[in-house]
Structure 1
Amino acid sequence: MAVSLPDGATIAIATTYGSVKTVTAITNANPGVITSAAHGLLNGAFYELKSGWQKISDRVFKASNVATNALDVTGIDTTDTNRFAAGTGVGSLREITAWTQIPQILEFTTSGGDQQFANFSFLEEDYERQLPTVTSAQSIQIGIGDDPSLPGYQALKAAGEARAIRALKVTLPNGAVLLYNGFVSFNETPTLTKGSVMQVRATISLQGRPTRY
C-alpha cells in the first residue's frame, strides 16, 4: 500500500513533431512490436501512434527495444486476436521532438471516463440487468495563473486556435510519467474573483486512453 502527493509534478504540452512514419505491421505479442522502416526513434523517445487497432490508436507511447526498423508498443499486450485482429494494426507514427512546460498550474482535474451500461430485462423478470458498454468521454481541465508572456500559455493558445490534437505529459515527483492525447481548447478570459489569483483555463478532450510509465 502506498499513497503520494502530486506536489512538484510538472506538465508539458507537445509543441514539435517529427515527420510521419508508416507503420507496416504490429505483432500480436506482449508488448506488441511495430515495424516501421527507418523510423529514427531512440529508446526513451515519445511518439504518437495511429493504428487500425482502435484500442491503441491516437495514444502516446514511450519507445523501447528500438531497432532500425522496429520498436515496442511499450506496456501494451496485443496478444488477444479477438481484440487486436492479426494483420490489421497498420497505420503511422510520429515522434514528439519538443515539449513546452505549462507553469503556474493552480488546478488539474479530470472528468468523464465512467463506465456506461446497457440496461435490459427479460419479459418474465421483475428486475433489470446491466451489461457494460463504453466509458464516457474523458477530458482534462487545467487552471493556470494568468500570464500571457509565458511560453506554455502561448503553446496552449496556438493549439486551441488550430483545434489541434496535442500530447500532454505529466511527470510525477517519483519520476512516473502520464501521457495523454487530445484536442486542446483554451479560454483566455481570466477569472476575476476578488482576493483570488486570476486564472485561465485549458481543456484537453482525450481521443484515447492515457498511458502510464
Structure 2
Amino acid sequence: MPSTAISAQGSKLEISSTAGSAKTLTAIALGFPTILTSAAHGLTNGDVVTLAGLTGADAATLNGQTVAIKNVTTNTFAVDINTLGKTITAAGTATPLNWTKIENLVSFNGFDGQASELDVTDLDSTAKEFMLGLQDWGTFSFDVNRDFNDAGQQAVDAAKRAGSQKSFKLTLPNLKTKTFNGYVKNSPLEGGVDQVLKTSGVTLRITGDVVDA
C-alpha cells in the first residue's frame, strides 16, 4: 500500500501584525458555522478577522468578535460562531489581520495539552466516574535559524518582551491551517563550533481554542 505520509517541507509559521483593509460584508447566512459574503475578499483559510457594523437585535453576537475563518470560497467565508435562531443582518465589515512570516523555520511541535478530569463520582457510583473539563491546547514550540533582520523573528522577540498576546497561523504543505492565540514564553539563542546561530525551543503558551481550517 502506498504511503500517505505528508512531507513537512514547505510548512509556514506566521505571526499577526497590523490590521489590514476592511472587507465589506453584503450578506449573512445564519447557522453554525455562520457564513458571511464579501465579494472577492481575497482571504484564505485561517485568516483572522474582526467583525463590525452588522445590525439586528442579536448583532452583538458577531460585532467586536475576532475570529479565524474557514471554508473560504471566492466570495464567502465561515466563522465558528453559532447564530442559529438569531436576528442579524448585513452589511458590515470584516477587518483582517496582516501576517508576518517567521523565516528560517527548521522544525516545530506542539498542541500538547489535554483537558482536565472532573471527578463526578457519587455515592451511587459502582466505580470512579469522570467527565472532561475545558480543553487545554498546551504549548507550541519551534526552532529557527537566527536572522536578526527578519521581521517575523523580530516580532516574536517583541511579543516576548512586551508579554503581549499574538495570533499565530501554521500553514501545512497540504494547505491545512491551524490558527491560535498565544504568548511567547522564551526565545533562547544557541550556537557552537561548526553551527549556525539558532533560536531553539521558542515556546508559545496557547490561550483559547485552536481553529483548524
Structure 1-normalised TM-score?
Answer: 0.67
Is 1:191 paired with 2:190? yes
Query: Once the 2 structures are TM-superposed, how far is the Cα of residue 191 of structure 1 from its aligned partner?
Result: 2.4
Taking the aligned partners of 1:167 and 1:147, their CA distance within structure 2 comes to 21
Inter-CA distance 163–77: structure 2 relative to 1 (3 Å threshold): closer
Inter-CA distance 146–133: structure 2 relative to 1 (3 Å threshold): same
Inter-CA distance 164–19: structure 2 relative to 1 (3 Å threshold): farther
Inter-CA distance 195–115: structure 2 relative to 1 (3 Å threshold): farther
Inter-CA distance 186–63: structure 2 relative to 1 (3 Å threshold): farther
Taking the aligned partners of 1:18 and 1:41, their CA distance within structure 2 comes to 15
Structure 2 stretches lacking a partner, 5+ long: 52-58
Taking the aligned partners of 1:53 and 1:117, their CA distance within structure 2 comes to 30
Pairing of 1:21-32 with structure 2 (within 5 A): 28-32=30-34
Taking the aligned partners of 2:61 and 2:40, their CA distance within structure 1 comes to 21
The question of whether the paired residues in 2 share the 8 Å contact of 1:11 and 1:102 is answered with: yes
**Aligned residue for 2:54?**
none
Pairing of 1:192-207 with structure 2 (within 5 A): 192=191, 197-200=196-199, 201-207=201-207
Give the AA of the match of 1:163: G
Query: Once the 2 structures are TM-superposed, how far is the Cα of residue 20 of structure 1 from its aligned partner?
Result: 8.4
Is 1:60 paired with 2:62? no
Taking the aligned partners of 1:64 and 1:167, their CA distance within structure 2 comes to 19
Deviation track 1:143-169 (CA, whole Å, cap 9, x = no partner) reads 222231222221212222233332222
Q: How many residues align?
A: 195
Query: Once the 2 structures are TM-superposed, how far is the Cα of residue 49 of structure 1 from its aligned partner?
Result: 4.2
Is 1:44 paired with 2:52? no
The question of whether the paired residues in 1 share the 8 Å contact of 2:110 and 2:141 is answered with: yes
- The alignment partner of 2:141 has SS state of strand
- The alignment partner of 1:153 has SS state of helix
Taking the aligned partners of 2:117 and 2:60, their CA distance within structure 1 comes to 26
Is 1:14 paired with 2:22? no
The question of whether the paired residues in 2 share the 8 Å contact of 1:58 and 1:181 is answered with: no
**Aligned residue for 2:97?**
96
Inter-CA distance 30–127: structure 2 relative to 1 (3 Å threshold): closer
> Percent same amino acid at aligned positions?
18
Give the AA of the match of 1:156: V
* Equivalent residue for 1:78, pick from 82, 90, 93: 82
Range that drifts further, 105-114 or 195-204:
195-204
Deviation track 1:62-116 (CA, whole Å, cap 9, x = no partner) reads 585688xxx6434x372667xxxx469xxx963113x222122222111443122
The question of whether the paired residues in 2 share the 8 Å contact of 1:166 and 1:183 is answered with: yes
- The alignment partner of 1:208 has SS state of strand
